[in-house]
Structures are given as C-alpha cells and as structure tokens.
Amino acid sequence: MGARLGVLALQGDVSEHILAFSRALRATGEVDGSVIPVRKPQDLEGLQGLAIPGGESTTISRLVEKNGLFGPLVNFEGGIFATCAGMVLAASRVDDPRVRPLGLLDMAVKRNAFGRQRESFEADLAVRGLDQPFHACFIRAPVATATGKDVEVLARIDAGAVAVRRGKHMALSFHPELGDDPRLHAMFLERIFAGE
C-alpha cells in the first residue's frame, strides 16, 4: 500500500495542494500514493501527512472548531505541511484573537505581514536543503516574527522567517502549490517517510 496524505479541505487552496502532493509523490517514487480531502476527524485515520492550505486563517480556524477538528489536528501523529494561512494556524502565538492556533510549532506569527492583496509579491528564496533558489509566491502572507529553539528556520527575508520546520512539521508563509516546483512538498515527504 502506498503513502496516504490528506489536505484539509475546509477552505483555501485544496485542489492545488492535492495536485502538488500527487506530483511530489511521483517525484519521490511513491507512485501508489494517494491524496484525499479531509473534512472531518475520521478522514485523518491512516494518514502519514496533512496539508493545511492557504486561504483565510480566521475562516479556517472557525471551521476547524465547527467540524470538531481542533483536538484531532493537535494530536495528529503524521507530519503537517502548513502554507500561508496554514502557517498562522500551526503557530503557538498569533497576532489576531480570532484565530485559535494549533501550537504545532513554537513561533509567533503576524498575519498579513505585508499588507493587503495588492502588496502580494514573488521572490526567489534561498531555502536550506535546496541547491537552487525556490520561486515563492506571497499572497497576503504571514511571517514568523519569533521562533523557539527547536524550530529550524529554512528561509528568511527582512521581515522574518518565511519557511520553518520542526520534526515532521513544515510551515511556509508562501504558496508552493501554485507553481510547478515540487521540491518543498518532496522535502516534507522525505521527512515523514523517514519517520523523523
């Protein structure tokens, strides 16, 4: 049986992450792997990894509560790949009281750190573990303003950390699922397959 991955499918870039993880599974040789949408706690059973996609963090936080997913996400034993709004939810501290963070990574996150939609931008980032820069798309992006000792910063810009990792969890303030570069999804998969 191949790898089983999920994408939290409450709001945001769900189909884009399903496609990106399908490409990354093929790139890592896991041709029998599957990627499913996750909407309720029982959907998490048997998954090795889960993406919490970009979207609107206050909306996703409210829907996590409404669907009874807060506890199951906090206690999920697989790896979590959190992007943009997902990074906000994965944090231990958030600058917005409307978001109840999951506390998966010891970090403080500022929502919409760069302003509104019109301040969105793209940048080539040097990412620890990649031999070439990663072209990143920042859309109303957050930034980690502080990280704990056990959180590894993989990429940073002037405003703060934009890619971090702890164990099997990885959080990015940008949207790797919007391009055709599977390297960050593959980096995440390598960690969960290695059991780290």
Say yes or no to pLDDT of 64 above 70: yes
Say yes or no to pLDDT of 119 above 70: no
Q: What's the predicted TM-score (pTM) here?
A: 0.93
**Is 30 known to be catalytic?**
no
Average pLDDT score, the chain = 91
Q: Which of 16, 169, 177, 185 is catalytic?
A: 177
Q: Which of 16, 84, 169, 185 is catalytic?
A: 84
Q: Is 4-193 in CATH node 3.40.50.880?
A: yes
pLDDT bin (cut points 50, 70, 90) of residue 195 is low
Residue ranges with strand state E in 18-151: 34-38, 49-52, 79-83, 93-94, 107-110, 121-125, 134-138, 143-147
pLDDT bin (cut points 50, 70, 90) of residue 116 is low
Question: Any idea what DSSP says for residue 173?
Answer: S
pLDDT in tens, 15-45: 999 999 998 888 888 778 899 999 999 999 9
**Is 175 known to be catalytic?**
yes
Indicate the domain borders of the chain. 4-193
Distance (Å, whole) CA 94 – CA 24: 30
| C-alpha torsion angle, residues 87, 41, 77, 9 (rounded to 10) | -40
**Is 65 known to be catalytic?**
no
CB proximity list for 120: less than 8 A, separation 6 or greater: 114, 137, 138, 139, 140, 141
Nearest to residue 171, comparing CAs of 101, 116, 71?
Answer: 101
